[in-house]
Chain A
Amino acid sequence: EAGVTQFPSHSVIEKGQTVTLRCDPISGHDNLYWYRRVMGKEIKFLLHFVKESKQDESGMPNNRFLAERTGGTYSTLKVQPAELEDSGVYFCASSQASAQTGELFFGEGSRLTVL
């Protein structure tokens, strides 16, 4: 069974440009989460989808970040325009609806470098 896959693994862009990160969760997982780790600090929650609906987006840093999950399958996270402080590793995680709280399957992350 395929795990959570994220694309691209690494993206380098200039300040002001746009980047779109993609996450394919494990098939059948209704819950999808985005987290971010900046500068070797703690991993911070960004948002949570249940199927195609945003359950909790309180961790999104500002309106330059837009997450979508059309059809309840894969998700995209777009940063537009990117700023230097957006650099970090963006993790996607998924879980089944019946899963116990916190038992998430994570992808390998997408490293974003904004120059």
Chain B
Amino acid sequence: AQKVTQAQTEISVVEKEDVTLDCVYETRDTTYYLFWYKQPPSGELVFLIRRNSFDEQNEISGRYSWNFQKSTSSFNFTITASQVVDSAVYFCALNTDEETSGSRLTFGEGTQLTVNP
């Protein structure tokens, strides 16, 4: 069985602070994919990143960066110099090759990030 844990239910920061959202996953599969999705106040989930289990290289995209560590089963997400527009619920998700459906994702419970001006 797969499981994704986002221990931080809510985080509140002041604009321009850096913030890290934690994600810990569990799976017995050796091939799997990890994702982060953003849910702004409008409600739809927006895809941010996909990472496969064989690629532990960290990724940076603008103010966003992701740290994938297989040794600790973690896939953390850092926002540098946070902005008010970053306020949203962020979901970490997992998909394994053994799933019958290509995009059957296992989500965490989400972290509500509030960036205050």
List the interface of chain A (C-beta within 8 A of B): 3-4, 31, 33, 35, 40-45, 48, 55-56, 58-59, 89, 91, 93, 95, 99-109
Contact = CB atoms under 8 A, between A and B. Distances in A.
Interface of B: 4, 33, 35, 37, 42-47, 50, 91, 93, 95, 99-110
10 contacts: A41-B109, A42-B107, A43-B93, A45-B105, A45-B106, A48-B104, A101-B102, A102-B35, A104-B47, A109-B43
Contacts of B100: 55-56, 58
* Chain B CB within 10 Å, residue with most, of A42, A48, A109: A42
Contacts of A103: 47, 50, 103
Nearest to B95: A102
Contacts of A59: 104
Contacts of A106: 37, 44-46
B95 A101 contact: yes
Given A102-B33, A102-B50, A42 B110 contact: yes
B26 to A, nearest CB: 13
Given A56-B104, A101-B102, A102-B103, A42 B109 contact: yes
A98 B24 CA distance: 29
Closest 9 CB pairs of A and B: A56-B101, A108-B43, A106-B45, A43-B107, A48-B101, A108-B44, A42-B109, A42-B107, A106-B44
B21 to A, nearest CB: 15
B45 A93 contact: yes
Given A56-B100, A102-B105, A107 B95 contact: no
A58 B1 CA distance: 14
